[in-house]
Chains A and B, each alone.
Chain A
Amino acid sequence: MKYVAGLALSALLIASGAAHAQQGEIKVGEINSYSALPAFTEPYRKGMELALKQINDAGGIKGKKLVVITKDDGGKPGDAVTAANELVSRDGVVLIAGGFLSNIGLALSDFAKQKEILYIAAEPLTDAIVWSKGNDYTFRLRPSNYMQASMLAEEAAKLPAKKWATIAPNYEFGQSFVAVFKELLTKKRPDVEFVAEQWPPLGKIDAGPVLQAIDAAKPDAILNATFAGDLVKLVREGNTRGVFQNRSVVSYLTGEPEYLDPLKDETPEGWIVTGYPWYGIKTPEHQAFLDAYQAAYKDYPRLGSVVGYSTVKSIAAVLNATDDHSTAGLVKAMKGLKVDTPFGPIVYRAADHQSTLGAYVGKTAKKDGKGVMVDFAFKKGADYLPSEADAAKLRPAN
């Protein structure tokens, strides 16, 4: 509580301090759904602040202090554009970053194109932001819907299951994820058929009837793309009704601590999920991040922390890569930019502006009354993206 109040205060200070800019500063803007989605954005902000501190403690950007001005978008695309406008027009930031919801990411990417400013989309998962609605000024950090669908489809294809049912929230995120998963799985396994689908509205799943309808189609396996509160409802109701018994379940995002931890002792076992097993990753770069994070916050990182941390690292990398901090200079430097993240080195691909950040795929299990990921493996993002030549064709010519 104190912490949040402190954050608000520091945000105020940052905002008021920005009015009189100093010579030795480089200002960048960041926009996210801080008030609307605090469960995700609070760890994200901590990750960002950690990276920022590390960068500035190590001398900043070529001796200049890196300043990140954060703004809340309230979960609305229109307000995100207002915030972006303030950052660009008034605070004079050299680039903008952030975004959680896909539609906000798209609104910001279109704003970036119009105002000709670099936008590093941190979190939005929609494929459109780099492909069908991609533009020169927008780059995206997180592994996309397509990439994660592709990772999960690979695992799903190994299952004996032939009859599949899908449950996904009724908006673009869910729709495009299911479509890509279907396409990729059918390509690998032509014998598979999809026998039922359910599209509960986001945040309003009526889990009993939804699961009953799925169960009635007698699928061998279920694909789930619901998350947060909807996921908890689904899991509790499904456990009680035994809908998940003797069925394989492939579940998108469920291994992320943000969504797995609330399930506690009701965590279903053996679901194939994408996520972030921070307790089991043994790479030196992650260990360093984990130690620093826990030392700073006395709390474990969520996936959002990694995203926030890597976003600021990407910002620092691009500012270090070129002395030309005009938009044209930065966009040029972003193409093929290499960044070290807690998940290892990534590259922002020049052809489609997607980073090659990967994800962990594993199975859910219960340990001491808590949900964990086991048998996980890191999937490199580059292996699940179309080739750069093919990806470039997915983008509009501009």
Chain B
Amino acid sequence: MIVATQTATKGANVELLLVQALSGLASAASLFLVASGLSIIFGVTRIVNFAHGAFYMLGAYMAYTLTSRFAGPLGFWGGLVVASLIVAALGALMEMVLLRRIYQAPELFQLLATFGVTLMVQDLVVLIWGPDDLMGPRAPGFTGAFELFGRRIPSYDALLIVLGPLVLGLLWLLFHRTRWGVLVRAATQDRDMVACLGVNQKWLFTSVFALGVFLAALGGALQIPRTTVTHAMDLSIIVEVFVVVVIGGLGSVTGAFFAAVLVSELNALGILVLPKISLIAVFLVMAVVLVVRPFGLLGKPERAPRAAAGLSFRPWKPMTQIERIGVALIVAMAALLPLFAGDYTLSVGSEILVFVLFASSLHFMMTVGGLASFGHAAYFGLGAYGAAFAVKFLGAPMGVALLIGPLFGMLGAIVSGWFCVRLTGVYFAMLTLAFAQIIWSVTFQWVEVTGGDNGLLGIWPARWASSPQGFFWLTLGIAVVGVALLRMLVFSPFGFGLRAARDSTLRADAIGINRKSVQWAAFVVSGTFAGLAGALFAFLKGSVFPDSLAIPISVDGLVMVLLGGIETVSGAVVGAIVYKALAIWLMSQTDLSKLILGAIIVLLVVASPKGIVGFIEHIRHRRPRTPTGADVPDSLGINMKAAE
């Protein structure tokens, strides 16, 4: 009797697993559609298209409008396709007007442009479609369910399950059976060679971009029978889609498909055992996959970009005496600020300085180390939590907490850095993101220690620094010393080794520089300074929340670095000041801060593709003050001195 019940339960369990797996496949299909578009775009244009989520959302909004207006099966399915086509046209327009101007800009700079567009779209959809959540119609013919093992499965799920492989098949045919597809594959492998063979790259890129955006919009449009359309849809999908693309292997559509299935199935089956797993499932998968297979499931090792970094920038030089005096004057002027500025200005000034330090730490890793991190907030947040723990659990004074914070950042960087530096390029960036998200979710879930999303309160500065003036001076002192130390590192032997490893791994190897250990050290240095910034941030705000180590902070850091100029020594300082001051001022002035900030970023990107500081340096060096011949040895001489 007991045995019989057990077998029955087992049977029921197997059935449940099967049905659950089917649901997972349906989720995988929508994820795959969006991810495949991103993968295609990246494969050919090498653009990390942050706006992909925005196009997904626009697809849903557009489809909502069309399907609400035109009823019936034709209206619905026609509406979906037409909506996706309209959005694809918008995407092509963005590529032509915006991205075409900046293909020659440093790697990742396009990310800044697409980020600006994303910000704008978030506010625009609210302006156009209103703030309410919108619910579109169900799909005609697919409103019901069919039964399997006594459990009902929506027929729309079945449609999606079929649609996923169908799109995969169509894309395969497109890439393998058409001339256009052959060109795209060729460009994915070696776009310079394709250009040399006389293929018009411009239109190839535009068409690929339009196709990718079409798939994103279709993915969004297909969501309207399942959920509401809101202005936050883009954020809910963009990160996951990136993760899927990376797990699958950049540029590999089939890989994206398998990755989407893997992620969705793990989630669908995982929640049966661990109901809280969803928060972290995709990032765990990504971390494991990238550690085991550094280029994703079906990805190929990235070739070194043909245009070597060394060609595009002027050799860095330490500051001349006059420049040093100039900087000292600016710092002195900042130090005088508390004598006449109000409390609010000072606390905003402190916040900007915190982000100057944070952006500089990321800048060090990105420009000197050539390692772009998408998860730098992790070390910022660890620093903030470290400081908060010191105050809450040890009752430590602020001075001690400001040491424990960076220590946390350093420890986090030591652990995740060891894994991350095995990878390069975008894979490296994504693994840092995975670690950041894992740390974030631990913070978020571990309510007993971290307070969960309700955070830790009461982390206020010691009495001597509690006045806005005092805290400003403290932050200014730490930020100036921090930035100066990072700058000194750039021109130290360690900095030279790091730059060597960045510019040519092979040659660096040949002269005895171990790329991994040098980069690991840079990672740790960077994480420590980020932690210091985070600890200051905790005392500035008086509280710590998990969002201090969430993606938006990482993105802010990236934007600051890119805005300042990635090929400069200290561009991040300027980038951080401009971006943070603008963001705070706009937020205080208007509810449409994202729209305006996004527009400003897009304009800046187009106006100065080398970043603000890069742009200034470019102008300065157009009129050579000394003959170039004399200039180079001189700078080398100084460098040698610094190296000694």
Indicate if the CB atoms of B344 and A90 lie closer than 8 Å.
yes
Indicate if the CB atoms of B457 and A200 lie closer than 8 Å.
no
Indicate if the CB atoms of A103 and B545 lie closer than 8 Å.
yes
Total contacts A-B at CB 8 Å: 224
A215 lies within 8 A of chain B by Cβ: yes
Indicate if the CB atoms of A107 and B543 lie closer than 8 Å.
yes
Indicate if the CB atoms of A12 and B590 lie closer than 8 Å.
yes
Q: Mark A155-175, 1 if CB is under 8 A from B, else 0.
A: 000000000000000111001
Indicate if the CB atoms of B133 and A209 lie closer than 8 Å.
no
Indicate if the CB atoms of A77 and B16 lie closer than 8 Å.
no
Indicate if the CB atoms of A240 and B587 lie closer than 8 Å.
no
The answer for the CA separation of A24 and B459 in the assembled complex, in Å, is 38
For B10, the chain A residues whose CB sits under 8 A away are none
For A187, the chain B residues whose CB sits under 8 A away are none
The answer for the CA separation of A388 and B20 in the assembled complex, in Å, is 48
- The contact of B453 among A103, A198, A199, A237, by CB within 8 Å, is A103
B173 lies within 8 A of chain A by Cβ: no
The answer for the CA separation of A41 and B132 in the assembled complex, in Å, is 10
- The contact of B132 among A11, A111, A170, A262, by CB within 8 Å, is A262
User: Which of B27, B135, B151 has the most chain A CB atoms closer than 10 A to its own CB?
Assistant: B135
Q: Mark B316-338, 1 if CB is under 8 A from A, else 0.
A: 00000000000000000000000
The answer for the CA separation of A79 and B27 in the assembled complex, in Å, is 34
A39 lies within 8 A of chain B by Cβ: yes
**Stretch of B163-171, B185-193, B230-238, B518-526 contacting A (4+ beta carbons < 8 Å):** B230-238
- Least CB distance from A358 to B in Å reads 25
- The contact of A90 among B132, B228, B342, B594, by CB within 8 Å, is B342
- The contact of A12 among B20, B447, B589, by CB within 8 Å, is B589
A284 lies within 8 A of chain B by Cβ: no
**Stretch of A56-64, A226-234, A311-319, A379-387 contacting B (4+ beta carbons < 8 Å):** A226-234
A274 lies within 8 A of chain B by Cβ: no
**Stretch of A47-55, A68-76, A338-346 contacting B (4+ beta carbons < 8 Å):** A68-76
Indicate if the CB atoms of B152 and A86 lie closer than 8 Å.
no
Indicate if the CB atoms of B236 and A114 lie closer than 8 Å.
no
The answer for the CA separation of A1 and B230 in the assembled complex, in Å, is 16
Indicate if the CB atoms of A240 and B144 lie closer than 8 Å.
yes
A83 lies within 8 A of chain B by Cβ: yes
- The contact of A209 among B144, B268, B460, by CB within 8 Å, is B268
Indicate if the CB atoms of A71 and B271 lie closer than 8 Å.
no
- Least CB distance from B460 to A in Å reads 5
For A262, the chain B residues whose CB sits under 8 A away are 132-135, 228
For A36, the chain B residues whose CB sits under 8 A away are 232
* A172-B454, A232-B227, A264-B135 known; A210-B271 Cβ under 8 A: yes
- Least CB distance from A265 to B in Å reads 9
The answer for the CA separation of A38 and B541 in the assembled complex, in Å, is 25
For A251, the chain B residues whose CB sits under 8 A away are none
Considering only residues 110-159 of chain B, those with a C-beta below 8 Å from chain A are 123, 126-128, 130-135, 138, 143-145, 151-154, 156-157
For B616, the chain A residues whose CB sits under 8 A away are none
- Least CB distance from A121 to B in Å reads 13
A5 lies within 8 A of chain B by Cβ: yes
A294 lies within 8 A of chain B by Cβ: no
For B240, the chain A residues whose CB sits under 8 A away are 204
* A82-B348, A210-B271 known; A199-B278 Cβ under 8 A: yes
Indicate if the CB atoms of A81 and B228 lie closer than 8 Å.
no
Indicate if the CB atoms of B230 and A103 lie closer than 8 Å.
no
Considering only residues 570-629 of chain B, those with a C-beta below 8 Å from chain A are 584, 587-594
- Least CB distance from A67 to B in Å reads 16
A263 lies within 8 A of chain B by Cβ: yes
For A203, the chain B residues whose CB sits under 8 A away are 232, 236
- The contact of A240 among B126, B132, B143, by CB within 8 Å, is B143
Indicate if the CB atoms of B144 and A229 lie closer than 8 Å.
no
Indicate if the CB atoms of A237 and B226 lie closer than 8 Å.
yes
Q: Mark B259-303, 1 if CB is under 8 A from A, else 0.
A: 000001001110110011011000000000000000000000000
Considering only residues 180-212 of chain A, those with a C-beta below 8 Å from chain B are 197-201, 203-204, 206-210, 212
* A81-B541, A114-B460 known; A103-B454 Cβ under 8 A: yes
Considering only residues 80-112 of chain A, those with a C-beta below 8 Å from chain B are 81-83, 85-86, 89-90, 102-103, 106-107, 109-111
* A35-B593, A39-B131 known; A110-B228 Cβ under 8 A: no
- The contact of A81 among B19, B342, B543, by CB within 8 Å, is B543
A8 lies within 8 A of chain B by Cβ: yes
- The contact of A236 among B16, B152, B227, B543, by CB within 8 Å, is B227
The answer for the CA separation of A102 and B230 in the assembled complex, in Å, is 21
- Least CB distance from B557 to A in Å reads 14
* A78-B548, A242-B145 known; A83-B588 Cβ under 8 A: yes
Indicate if the CB atoms of A212 and B19 lie closer than 8 Å.
yes
Indicate if the CB atoms of B16 and A212 lie closer than 8 Å.
yes
Indicate if the CB atoms of A86 and B454 lie closer than 8 Å.
no
B351 lies within 8 A of chain A by Cβ: yes
B26 lies within 8 A of chain A by Cβ: yes
A213 lies within 8 A of chain B by Cβ: yes
By beta carbon, the residue of chain A nearest B466 is: A114
By beta carbon, the residue of chain B nearest A132 is: B454
List the 7 shortest-distance A-B pairs measured between CB atoms, nearest first. A38-B131, A208-B23, A89-B343, A209-B268, A90-B344, A89-B344, A110-B457
For this complex, 22 residue pairs linking A to B, each with C-beta atoms less than 8 Å apart, are A7-B591, A11-B591, A15-B589, A38-B131, A38-B231, A41-B131, A72-B591, A78-B548, A85-B344, A85-B348, A90-B344, A106-B457, A171-B452, A213-B20, A229-B133, A229-B232, A229-B233, A232-B133, A240-B145, A240-B154, A261-B132, A262-B135
Known contacts A78-B548, A109-B457, A172-B447, then 12 further A-B pairs from the complex at CB < 8 Å, ordered by chain A residue = A81-B541, A85-B344, A107-B457, A107-B543, A110-B543, A175-B447, A203-B232, A204-B236, A204-B278, A209-B269, A229-B232, A240-B152
